[in-house]
Amino acid sequence: MIDNLRRLRRERHQEARAWKERTGGKVVGVFCCDVPEELIYAAGMLPVRLLGAHEEATEGNLHFPTNVCPYPTSCLDQALKGRYDYLDGVIVPNVCDMVRAMYGAWKLNVGIPYLYFLEVPQRIGPRGVEFFAEMLGRFRSSLEELSGNTMSDASLRQAIDVYNRNRELLRQAYDLRKTGLISGVELQEMVLSSMLMPKEAHNQLMSECLEEASQRNPAGDGVRLLVSASMLDDTDFFQLIEECGGQVVADDMPTGSRYFFHSVDSEAEPLHALAQRHLAEIPCPRKMLPGARLQYVDETMADADVQGAIIHNLKACDCHLYEYPYLREMLEAKGLPVLFFRGEETEAELETQRDDIEAFIEMIRG
């Protein structure tokens, strides 16, 4: 299971190129969870999440100072190194300063034929949802133009069904992880591969993985941990935790539960339902509503018997750092020890993190 999932992530660029060749379709890169991929899928295109890499951003750092969030810089770096040369378009949502800055940076420096700036309101209530639904209407028209395909409400509803099915399968895997039938690394590989390949194929793959997992014996006597992260775009950190004797049983991160925890209401008007789910339900700290986020983190830990929490925030991710004290306070009030890391998207940081994770796990074991 793990080898295939890992291959799909590691060979994502080759896989996307092969998909283009096979189908003649277009591939569109997206930043963040707030972009409803269903619209891109319904237009007959392949949405892929833009991911950085644990390597020195030698090209990206020429355009941005080093005291900003390293994730968008790393994505830009990958693009400047030619690794995203197959993309037909990139969607930049207005979610935070650095992602917003990617619009200009990619427009000026990366030869992408189509860049779309998706307005995502800061107001989360009904008027915000209404506004976002209107923005999604414009986005829909623009995607129709890019793809050359008309997007009917029926095709959009079908896309929502396919995506909801994927979310349901990932939620099943999330629950199996709590029982030790699926490891933390495996679930993260499932989520990352879901973000990178056609959803029907991923649904098929997920069904096979869940079937395989159900045949196993529960494994893992590791220390049961919650991981809350601003962005982990590979599985190295989870791998490190497992090597140190930890067992991730719950998470709060964009490349984890936030991607699949909430489904889209398939009965409601599609654009409004997409706006509601993506704007009002994903508990990303860019919304500055710590209460909702804390409640969400609490829900992710239900029945997980968490013994400790690791918070991994990329440096200068202001949104996550703003909520960090509240989150830490909430976790400690539950009696959970907390280990904090300021991530940098570099290869070298993993070895320095190892010492602290080993000590943290040994501390919890007592």
Q: Please report, as ranges, the residues that interact with another protein according to CB under 8 A.
A: 337-338, 342, 352, 355-356, 358-360, 362-363, 366
* Angle in degrees, CA 36, 119, 54, rounded to 5: 65
DSSP string covering 90-131: EEEESSSHHHHHHHHHHHHHS--S-EEEE---S--SHHHHHH
Residue 296 CB, shortest distance to another protein, in Å, is 25
First to last CA, the chain: 34
Residue 11: what residue type? E
236-246 burial, b if ≥16 CB within 10 A, otherwise e? bbbebbbebbb
d(CA 283, CA 317): 15
Residue 357 CB, shortest distance to another protein, in Å, is 9
- Complex with another protein: residue 117 or 340, whichever CB lies closer: 340
Residue 355 CB, shortest distance to another protein, in Å, is 7
Do residues 181 and 216 make contact, with C-beta atoms less than 8 angstroms apart?
yes
- Complex with another protein: residue 195 or 339, whichever CB lies closer: 339
Residue 77 CB, shortest distance to another protein, in Å, is 21
311-350 burial, b if ≥16 CB within 10 A, otherwise e? bbbbbbbbbbbebbeebbebbeeeebebbebebebeeebe
Residue 342 CB, shortest distance to another protein, in Å, is 7
Region of 188 please: left (phi>0), alpha (psi -120 to 50) or beta: alpha
- Complex with another protein: residue 212 or 362, whichever CB lies closer: 362
- Complex with another protein: residue 200 or 355, whichever CB lies closer: 355
Residue 351 CB, shortest distance to another protein, in Å, is 10
- Complex with another protein: residue 100 or 342, whichever CB lies closer: 342
- Complex with another protein: residue 272 or 342, whichever CB lies closer: 342
Give the gyration radius of the chain's Cα atoms: 20
